[in-house]
Amino acid sequence: MTSVLPPFVQAASGSLGAASANALTYPLDLITTRIQATEKGTSIRKQIHTYGLSSFYDGIWADTGATLLSSFLYYYVYSFLREFVVRGNGKSKAAMLSLPQELAIGYAAGIASRSITTPLNLVTVRLQTARMSEDSSAQGEASRFTGVCQQILREEGLRGFWKGFSSNFILSLNPAVTLYLFQQYRRVMLKGKERAAPPPGHSFLGGALANSVAVIMLYPLLLAKTVVQASRISNSANNSSQYISIRSSLLGIYTAGGFFALYRGLGAQLFKGVLRQGTAMMVKQRIEQLVVQAYLKQRALRRVQYKG
Protein backbone atom coordinates (compact mmCIF):
# COMPACT_ATOMS: atom_id res chain seq x y z
CA MET A 1 0.00 0.00 0.00
CA THR A 2 2.98 2.31 -0.26
CA SER A 3 4.30 4.32 -3.17
CA VAL A 4 6.07 2.47 -5.98
CA LEU A 5 7.92 5.57 -7.20
CA PRO A 6 11.75 5.74 -7.04
CA PRO A 7 13.30 6.66 -3.67
CA PHE A 8 14.38 10.12 -4.85
CA VAL A 9 10.86 11.06 -5.96
CA GLN A 10 9.37 9.85 -2.68
CA ALA A 11 12.03 11.73 -0.73
CA ALA A 12 11.53 14.96 -2.70
CA SER A 13 7.72 14.84 -2.42
CA GLY A 14 7.92 13.97 1.28
CA SER A 15 10.32 16.80 2.10
CA LEU A 16 8.31 19.38 0.12
CA GLY A 17 5.12 18.22 1.83
CA ALA A 18 6.76 18.47 5.25
CA ALA A 19 8.20 21.92 4.51
CA SER A 20 4.79 23.20 3.34
CA ALA A 21 3.13 21.87 6.48
CA ASN A 22 5.91 23.31 8.63
CA ALA A 23 5.43 26.81 7.21
CA LEU A 24 1.67 26.57 7.77
CA THR A 25 1.86 25.39 11.38
CA TYR A 26 5.09 27.01 12.59
CA PRO A 27 3.49 29.46 15.07
CA LEU A 28 1.71 26.50 16.68
CA ASP A 29 4.99 24.62 16.83
CA LEU A 30 6.70 27.54 18.57
CA ILE A 31 3.87 27.94 21.09
CA THR A 32 3.96 24.22 21.85
CA THR A 33 7.72 24.30 22.40
CA ARG A 34 7.45 27.24 24.80
CA ILE A 35 4.68 25.49 26.75
CA GLN A 36 6.78 22.34 26.97
CA ALA A 37 9.96 24.16 27.97
CA THR A 38 8.52 25.98 30.98
CA GLU A 39 6.50 24.71 33.92
CA LYS A 40 4.44 27.90 34.19
CA GLY A 41 3.77 28.21 30.48
CA THR A 42 3.02 31.46 28.71
CA SER A 43 -0.24 32.57 27.12
CA ILE A 44 -0.54 33.53 23.48
CA ARG A 45 -1.88 36.98 24.41
CA LYS A 46 1.10 37.59 26.70
CA GLN A 47 3.56 36.53 23.99
CA ILE A 48 1.98 38.91 21.46
CA HIS A 49 1.93 41.80 23.95
CA THR A 50 5.51 41.23 25.12
CA TYR A 51 7.32 40.16 21.96
CA GLY A 52 5.04 41.08 19.04
CA LEU A 53 3.61 38.92 16.25
CA SER A 54 7.04 38.46 14.66
CA SER A 55 8.09 36.38 17.69
CA PHE A 56 5.90 33.54 16.45
CA TYR A 57 8.38 32.98 13.63
CA ASP A 58 11.56 32.85 15.72
CA GLY A 59 13.78 30.14 14.23
CA ILE A 60 11.56 29.36 11.25
CA TRP A 61 14.45 29.22 8.75
CA ALA A 62 16.47 26.79 10.87
CA ASP A 63 13.38 24.66 11.42
CA THR A 64 12.45 24.67 7.74
CA GLY A 65 15.98 23.57 6.82
CA ALA A 66 15.86 20.81 9.43
CA THR A 67 12.42 19.71 8.19
CA LEU A 68 13.50 19.56 4.54
CA LEU A 69 16.68 17.63 5.32
CA SER A 70 15.09 15.30 7.88
CA SER A 71 12.08 14.43 5.71
CA PHE A 72 14.18 13.94 2.58
CA LEU A 73 16.59 11.60 4.38
CA TYR A 74 13.77 9.73 6.11
CA TYR A 75 11.72 9.02 2.99
CA TYR A 76 14.79 8.26 0.88
CA VAL A 77 16.24 5.75 3.35
CA TYR A 78 12.79 4.30 4.07
CA SER A 79 11.86 3.74 0.42
CA PHE A 80 15.35 2.43 -0.40
CA LEU A 81 15.31 -0.10 2.47
CA ARG A 82 11.73 -1.11 1.78
CA GLU A 83 12.45 -1.73 -1.89
CA PHE A 84 15.47 -3.81 -0.89
CA VAL A 85 13.41 -5.95 1.53
CA VAL A 86 10.53 -6.35 -0.93
CA ARG A 87 12.87 -7.52 -3.68
CA GLY A 88 14.52 -9.94 -1.28
CA ASN A 89 11.12 -11.43 -0.48
CA GLY A 90 10.20 -11.68 -4.16
CA LYS A 91 7.16 -9.41 -3.79
CA SER A 92 5.85 -6.47 -5.80
CA LYS A 93 6.75 -2.93 -4.71
CA ALA A 94 3.18 -2.23 -3.56
CA ALA A 95 3.01 -5.34 -1.36
CA MET A 96 2.36 -5.01 2.37
CA LEU A 97 5.15 -6.15 4.64
CA SER A 98 4.68 -7.52 8.13
CA LEU A 99 4.33 -5.12 11.06
CA PRO A 100 7.83 -5.91 12.44
CA GLN A 101 9.38 -5.37 9.00
CA GLU A 102 7.59 -2.07 8.40
CA LEU A 103 8.46 -0.74 11.86
CA ALA A 104 12.08 -1.90 11.59
CA ILE A 105 12.51 -0.13 8.23
CA GLY A 106 10.84 3.03 9.51
CA TYR A 107 12.90 2.94 12.70
CA ALA A 108 16.19 2.61 10.81
CA ALA A 109 15.20 5.50 8.52
CA GLY A 110 14.25 7.61 11.54
CA ILE A 111 17.58 7.02 13.29
CA ALA A 112 19.50 7.85 10.10
CA SER A 113 17.66 11.13 9.51
CA ARG A 114 17.66 12.29 13.15
CA SER A 115 21.35 11.58 13.63
CA ILE A 116 22.11 14.18 10.96
CA THR A 117 19.40 16.75 11.72
CA THR A 118 19.53 16.78 15.55
CA PRO A 119 21.92 19.81 15.59
CA LEU A 120 19.50 21.87 13.49
CA ASN A 121 16.58 20.79 15.67
CA LEU A 122 18.49 21.80 18.78
CA VAL A 123 19.31 25.24 17.36
CA THR A 124 15.63 25.69 16.44
CA VAL A 125 14.49 24.95 20.00
CA ARG A 126 17.04 27.44 21.36
CA LEU A 127 15.83 30.12 18.92
CA GLN A 128 12.21 29.44 19.84
CA THR A 129 12.83 29.74 23.59
CA ALA A 130 15.46 32.53 23.55
CA ARG A 131 12.92 35.22 24.48
CA MET A 132 12.03 33.27 27.63
CA SER A 133 15.54 33.68 29.03
CA GLU A 134 15.87 36.00 32.02
CA ASP A 135 19.37 36.96 30.88
CA SER A 136 18.97 39.92 28.48
CA SER A 137 22.46 39.47 27.03
CA ALA A 138 21.73 35.81 26.38
CA GLN A 139 18.49 36.81 24.62
CA GLY A 140 20.38 39.01 22.17
CA GLU A 141 23.00 36.40 21.35
CA ALA A 142 20.51 33.54 21.18
CA SER A 143 18.21 35.40 18.77
CA ARG A 144 20.60 34.68 15.88
CA PHE A 145 21.46 31.35 14.27
CA THR A 146 25.21 31.95 14.48
CA GLY A 147 24.84 33.24 18.02
CA VAL A 148 23.14 30.02 19.13
CA CYS A 149 25.81 27.87 17.48
CA GLN A 150 28.58 29.84 19.17
CA GLN A 151 26.76 29.65 22.50
CA ILE A 152 26.42 25.86 22.30
CA LEU A 153 30.06 25.43 21.30
CA ARG A 154 31.27 27.67 24.11
CA GLU A 155 29.14 26.08 26.83
CA GLU A 156 28.98 22.43 25.80
CA GLY A 157 31.40 21.77 22.96
CA LEU A 158 30.59 19.80 19.81
CA ARG A 159 28.72 17.10 21.68
CA GLY A 160 26.28 19.76 22.81
CA PHE A 161 24.79 19.80 19.29
CA TRP A 162 23.53 16.25 19.86
CA LYS A 163 21.98 17.04 23.21
CA GLY A 164 18.91 14.87 23.79
CA PHE A 165 19.83 12.55 20.93
CA SER A 166 19.47 9.46 23.14
CA SER A 167 15.70 10.00 23.12
CA ASN A 168 15.73 9.42 19.36
CA PHE A 169 16.35 5.73 19.90
CA ILE A 170 12.71 5.58 21.00
CA LEU A 171 11.26 8.67 19.30
CA SER A 172 12.33 7.32 15.91
CA LEU A 173 9.40 4.95 16.29
CA ASN A 174 7.10 7.98 15.85
CA PRO A 175 7.49 8.40 12.06
CA ALA A 176 7.61 4.62 11.65
CA VAL A 177 4.31 4.14 13.50
CA THR A 178 2.77 7.14 11.71
CA LEU A 179 3.66 5.87 8.24
CA TYR A 180 2.56 2.32 9.06
CA LEU A 181 -0.82 3.47 10.42
CA PHE A 182 -1.31 5.71 7.38
CA GLN A 183 -0.73 2.74 5.09
CA GLN A 184 -3.20 0.70 7.14
CA TYR A 185 -5.74 3.51 6.83
CA ARG A 186 -5.37 3.39 3.05
CA ARG A 187 -5.79 -0.37 3.03
CA VAL A 188 -8.90 -0.39 5.24
CA MET A 189 -10.71 2.80 4.20
CA LEU A 190 -9.95 3.02 0.48
CA LYS A 191 -10.52 0.79 -2.51
CA GLY A 192 -9.39 0.52 -6.11
CA LYS A 193 -7.66 3.54 -7.62
CA GLU A 194 -8.20 5.62 -4.48
CA ARG A 195 -6.09 3.17 -2.49
CA ALA A 196 -3.13 3.73 -4.82
CA ALA A 197 -3.74 7.50 -5.10
CA PRO A 198 -5.72 8.74 -2.06
CA PRO A 199 -7.86 11.88 -2.49
CA PRO A 200 -6.60 14.98 -0.61
CA GLY A 201 -9.26 14.63 2.08
CA HIS A 202 -8.33 11.04 2.89
CA SER A 203 -4.61 11.86 2.77
CA PHE A 204 -5.16 14.64 5.32
CA LEU A 205 -7.40 12.60 7.60
CA GLY A 206 -5.27 9.46 7.45
CA GLY A 207 -2.06 11.36 8.15
CA ALA A 208 -3.64 13.31 11.02
CA LEU A 209 -5.08 10.21 12.73
CA ALA A 210 -1.89 8.21 12.33
CA ASN A 211 0.25 10.99 13.76
CA SER A 212 -2.09 11.55 16.72
CA VAL A 213 -1.85 7.92 17.81
CA ALA A 214 1.95 7.94 17.49
CA VAL A 215 2.28 11.21 19.44
CA ILE A 216 0.09 10.04 22.34
CA MET A 217 2.16 6.87 22.64
CA LEU A 218 5.50 8.68 22.89
CA TYR A 219 4.60 12.15 24.21
CA PRO A 220 6.36 12.09 27.63
CA LEU A 221 9.65 11.36 25.91
CA LEU A 222 9.03 14.11 23.35
CA LEU A 223 8.35 16.55 26.19
CA ALA A 224 11.53 15.53 28.03
CA LYS A 225 13.60 15.96 24.87
CA THR A 226 12.32 19.53 24.39
CA VAL A 227 13.11 20.40 28.02
CA VAL A 228 16.63 19.00 27.65
CA GLN A 229 17.33 20.83 24.39
CA ALA A 230 15.94 24.12 25.70
CA SER A 231 18.10 23.99 28.84
CA ARG A 232 21.45 25.74 29.05
CA ILE A 233 24.52 24.77 31.06
CA SER A 234 24.75 26.88 34.20
CA ASN A 235 27.76 29.17 34.45
CA SER A 236 28.17 28.50 38.15
CA ALA A 237 31.13 26.47 39.36
CA ASN A 238 28.90 23.85 40.90
CA ASN A 239 26.86 23.20 37.77
CA SER A 240 29.22 24.01 34.89
CA SER A 241 29.82 20.37 34.00
CA GLN A 242 26.32 19.03 34.61
CA TYR A 243 24.11 17.95 31.74
CA ILE A 244 20.40 17.31 32.03
CA SER A 245 19.63 13.81 30.78
CA ILE A 246 16.35 12.55 29.33
CA ARG A 247 15.86 10.33 32.38
CA SER A 248 16.46 13.11 34.90
CA SER A 249 14.20 15.41 32.88
CA LEU A 250 11.34 12.89 32.99
CA LEU A 251 11.88 12.37 36.72
CA GLY A 252 11.97 16.11 37.37
CA ILE A 253 8.73 16.73 35.46
CA TYR A 254 7.00 13.87 37.26
CA THR A 255 8.26 14.93 40.70
CA ALA A 256 7.20 18.55 40.19
CA GLY A 257 3.75 17.96 38.74
CA GLY A 258 2.83 14.30 38.91
CA PHE A 259 1.73 11.98 36.10
CA PHE A 260 -0.35 14.53 34.19
CA ALA A 261 2.62 16.90 34.02
CA LEU A 262 4.21 14.39 31.62
CA TYR A 263 1.49 15.39 29.14
CA ARG A 264 1.94 19.14 29.52
CA GLY A 265 1.17 20.75 26.17
CA LEU A 266 -0.29 17.56 24.65
CA GLY A 267 -3.37 19.38 23.34
CA ALA A 268 -1.28 21.92 21.45
CA GLN A 269 1.02 19.16 20.17
CA LEU A 270 -1.93 17.12 18.86
CA PHE A 271 -3.55 20.13 17.21
CA LYS A 272 -0.26 21.06 15.57
CA GLY A 273 0.32 17.43 14.56
CA VAL A 274 -3.12 17.10 12.95
CA LEU A 275 -2.52 20.14 10.74
CA ARG A 276 1.15 19.42 10.04
CA GLN A 277 1.02 15.69 9.34
CA GLY A 278 -2.30 15.89 7.53
CA THR A 279 -1.02 18.67 5.27
CA ALA A 280 2.33 16.93 4.75
CA MET A 281 0.70 13.68 3.65
CA MET A 282 -1.78 15.51 1.45
CA VAL A 283 0.94 17.49 -0.35
CA LYS A 284 3.21 14.44 -0.64
CA GLN A 285 0.48 12.32 -2.21
CA ARG A 286 -0.50 15.13 -4.57
CA ILE A 287 3.08 15.65 -5.78
CA GLU A 288 3.47 11.92 -6.40
CA GLN A 289 0.20 11.89 -8.36
CA LEU A 290 1.43 14.78 -10.50
CA VAL A 291 4.69 12.96 -11.16
CA VAL A 292 2.81 9.84 -12.26
CA GLN A 293 0.47 11.88 -14.48
CA ALA A 294 3.40 13.68 -16.09
CA TYR A 295 5.14 10.36 -16.74
CA LEU A 296 2.00 8.85 -18.32
CA LYS A 297 1.49 11.91 -20.53
CA GLN A 298 5.12 11.79 -21.63
CA ARG A 299 4.86 8.10 -22.46
CA ALA A 300 1.63 8.66 -24.42
CA LEU A 301 3.26 11.50 -26.35
CA ARG A 302 6.24 9.29 -27.25
CA ARG A 303 3.89 6.59 -28.53
CA VAL A 304 2.10 9.11 -30.76
CA GLN A 305 5.41 10.42 -32.07
CA TYR A 306 6.65 6.88 -32.68
CA LYS A 307 3.53 5.92 -34.64
CA GLY A 308 3.72 9.14 -36.61
Q: Is residue 215 part of a domain?
A: yes
Nearest to 164 by CA among 112, 111, 228: 228
Q: What is the DSSP string of 249-263?
A: HHHHHHHHH-GGGGG
Predicted local distance difference test score (pLDDT) of residue 128: 82
Q: What is the CATH number of the domain that holds 115?
A: 1.50.40.10
Q: Is residue 135 part of a domain?
A: yes
Structural domain range at position 63: 7-307
Q: Is residue 2 part of a domain?
A: no
Predicted local distance difference test score (pLDDT) of residue 305: 72
What domain count does the chain have?
1
Angle at 189 between CA 187 and CA 195, to 5 degrees: 55
Please compute Rg for the chain using Cα positions: 21
Q: Is residue 1 part of a domain?
A: no
Predicted local distance difference test score (pLDDT) of residue 292: 79
Eight-class DSSP state of 164:
T
Task: Give the burial string for 252-268 (b: 16+ CB within 10 Å, else e).
Answer: ebeeeeeeeebebbbeb
Q: Is residue 45 part of a domain?
A: yes
- Report, as ranges of residue numbers, the positions in the chain whose pLDDT lies below 70: 1-4, 39-44, 47-48, 50-51, 92-95, 132-143, 232-243, 307-308
Q: Is residue 76 part of a domain?
A: yes
Measured between alpha carbons, how far is 20 from 102 in angstroms, rounded to an integer? 26
